[in-house]
Each structure stands twice: as C-alpha cells, then as structure tokens.
Amino acid sequence: MDKKIPVGILAATGTVGQRFVELLADHPWFEITVVTGSERTAGRPYGEGVNWKLLGDPPEKVANLIVQPTEPNLDVKILFSALPTPQAKELEPQFAQAGYIVLTNASPYRMDPYVPLLIPEVNPDHTGLIPAQQQKYGWEGYIVANANCSTTSIVLPMKILHEAYGLATAVVVTLQAISGAGYPGVPSMDILGNVIPHIGGEDTKLEREPRKLCGTLVDGEIQMADFLVSAQANRVPVFDGHLGSVSVKLRQAPTPEEVIDLFQKWQPPEICRELPSIPHPVLIYRREPDRPQPRLDAGSGSGLAWTLGKVRSCPVNDIRFLSLAHNTLRGAASGSVLNAELLWKQGFLG
C-alpha cells in the first residue's frame, strides 16, 4: 500500500470516539484526516476539545486536527461512527445517502435487513448485502455495523457449532464487565460487591443479533439462522471482559471431545488471516476447569481473541461451554476497524 487511506471519525471526542482515535492513530492502512464533534468542540483543535480518558495523551497528529461539525460535507469518504444512538439513527443514513461509507459501532441499524452486521471471523460474506442496501435505499454510500459487545463475546463459538452441527437452541447467561456501560456508566454504589441482573435491552440484542450474524445471504437478503436464543445478562464488578455461559441443543449431537477438537483446530476464514488487526490465534481453547476468567483471559491476543473453555456435555441440552471476549477491545471500536480492513480486502472501500 503506497499511501494510507484517509478516514474520518464521527463523534471523535466521546469514549468510543477516543478508542477509534487510539486504534487508528498508527494503523498500517488507514490515516485519520477528519474528526467531528459536537458544537462545543467544533472549531477547536482535537487535543483541546477532547477530555482524553485513555492512557497517555491523544496522538499528536490527531491532536492538531480541527474538530468539524458532524455534517455530511466532510472531505473524506470512509467514516467510523461513534455517534450516540439517537444521533446515529438520524445522521448515519444521511451520510450514506451523501455517498459516505459508514462503519458504525451504534445499534440502530444492526438489525436492519439490508445492513450487514459484520464480524470478519464470523460472516465475512455478509458484505455481499451492500449492493442490495444501496439499491434498496438509493444510497451512494452504505452502512456496515459491528455487533453488540455481549453478542460478540459468545457468537464465534455459536457460529462454529452452527456450521458443524446445526444449532437448534442456546440458553445464554452473561456476566458482563462495567466498562461495557461506558463512562460514568455504572455507579459504584450499585455494583461494588454486588451483581445487577439487568442490562437494558441487552437480552434482546443477545437473542436477535446471533441469528443475523449466523444467517445466510441469499438473493441479496440475510436469512436469519433458524435457532432460538434465551439470554439473561448480568452486570458484575469486573473491569473488562464479558463472559458467557452457553448451553446448546444441536441438530447433530457431538461429544464434548469432538467439540473441543473442533474449537482447537478451527481457523478463521482465509481472508481474515491477512487483516492487520486480526489476532493469532483468533480462538484460544483452555482446558483448565476454571477458565476462561475475565481478569486472566480478556487481554489474550491483545484483547482481540476469544477464549473458550469448559466444553462439557449438558444434562439438559447437548453441549455447554464458556466463551469470553474483551468487551471494549474486541467488542466495540475494534470491531469496526476490523470490518474496515475486511471491506478493503474485499474491494468495498473503492
């Protein structure tokens, strides 16, 4: 690649926006040339407008960029969107219509039948939905969404099992880290030495998104996978890492050892192996009975790998297992960066 591809970040001063800045500052393929922000910060250098919450200081080359208003007249084609839900809902289609490619971390269009809900290792072929999206909505650009962080933490093994044995049902209970709620997020008065067995909207996301991610692209449409998911999300006093306990019924029942073998030998789709942000390996299977653990395993593969464990036969269903991923590294902004890398490889970035 002779020259880096210029990209912009929508809502670059917020928590997720800062993570995009951090991830893209030294990216081998992309270069941040545009950052947008609210009225309060627009017109000022990014380094002054941002209340930087990550380690160290904002990268110097980004710190000097002047923050622009979030309007579809930006001098860059590829946009990473860290917009909050209401603005994302309103503005992302406007950007797509105006010809921009929007890689969004926001939730409003995740379940839109024409928007790819994309995780490169899970469903790289779903980008085939993009032409249908453009035709359906009359957009020159398009939107691609990454999955919710809790969905992300469990969907890779579900996809592998679905492909191998046909997934019929999954009962999922998640133990989710506080960083998933952003900042200020969960009050310490609520979570110190406690569990909150409720995360607004999360159960629904966990029950729907995996069916789309494991779905099949047929004639410009995603056919949702025909399995059922039951989810109960819990917030626990853990810093990073969402842990899912999953019990599945499969159409063909394997033994636990066959499943462990499947997980251990699994390789991501060929195209993923050339993406610069992909971890090696993508999937780690641990045989210790007390793993994965959030504090020990969420950082595996620089926070981008899935750690699985405890594959056992289930007295009620067929197989049960644990799946863990880092919610802010694998689950949020990084997901969109990996998606952009995949889109580039597939020729969708033009």
**Catalytic: 242?**
yes
CB under 8 Å to 76, separation ≥6 — which residues? 6, 7, 8, 33, 34
Binding characters for a copy of itself, 229-258, by CB under 8 A (x = yes): xx-x-x-xxxx---x-x-x-----------
191 sits near a copy of itself (criterion: CB under 8 A): yes
When binding is defined by CB under 8 A, the residue of 113, 187, 201, 276 that contacts a copy of itself is: 187
Let me know: does 272 contact 342? Beta carbons within 8 Å. Answer: yes
Alpha helices in 15-121 (DSSP H): 15-25, 46-49, 60-63, 85-97
User: In the window 272-291, what residues touch a copy of itself (CB under 8 A)?
Assistant: 289-291
Binding characters for a copy of itself, 150-179, by CB under 8 A (x = yes): -------------------xxx-x-x--xx
Classify each residue of 91-116 as buried b or exposed e, where b means 16 or more C-beta atoms within 10 Å of its C-beta. Answer: bbbebbbeebbbbbbbbbbbbbebbb
**Catalytic: 314?**
no
Give the binding-site size for a copy of itself (rule: CB under 8 A): 53
CB atoms closer than 10 angstroms to residue 38: 14
CB under 8 Å to 201, separation ≥6 — which residues? none
CB under 8 Å to 121, separation ≥6 — which residues? 156, 268, 269, 272, 278, 282
Q: Tokens 């066959």 correspond to what residue? A: 258
Closer residue to a copy of itself, CB minimum distance, 120 or 180: 180
- In three-state secondary structure terms, 136 is helix
From 86-94, 100-108, 224-232, 262-270, span contacting a copy of itself (CB under 8 A)? 224-232
The active-site residue out of 126, 242, 272, 326 is 242
- In three-state secondary structure terms, 178 is helix
When binding is defined by CB under 8 A, the residue of 185, 220, 256, 281 that contacts a copy of itself is: 185
From 34-42, 61-69, 155-163, 228-236, span contacting a copy of itself (CB under 8 A)? 228-236
From 102-110, 112-120, 147-155, 311-319, span contacting a copy of itself (CB under 8 A)? 311-319
| Cis upstream peptide for 184 (omega within 30°) | yes
Let me know: does 203 contact 232? Beta carbons within 8 Å. Answer: yes
308 sits near a copy of itself (criterion: CB under 8 A): no
The active-site residue out of 126, 149, 272, 326 is 149
82 sits near a copy of itself (criterion: CB under 8 A): no
Q: Which residues bind a copy of itself (CB under 8 A)?
A: 55, 169-171, 173, 175, 178-179, 183-198, 207, 228-230, 232, 234, 236-239, 243, 245, 247, 289-296, 309-310, 314-317, 320, 322
Catalytic residues: 149, 242
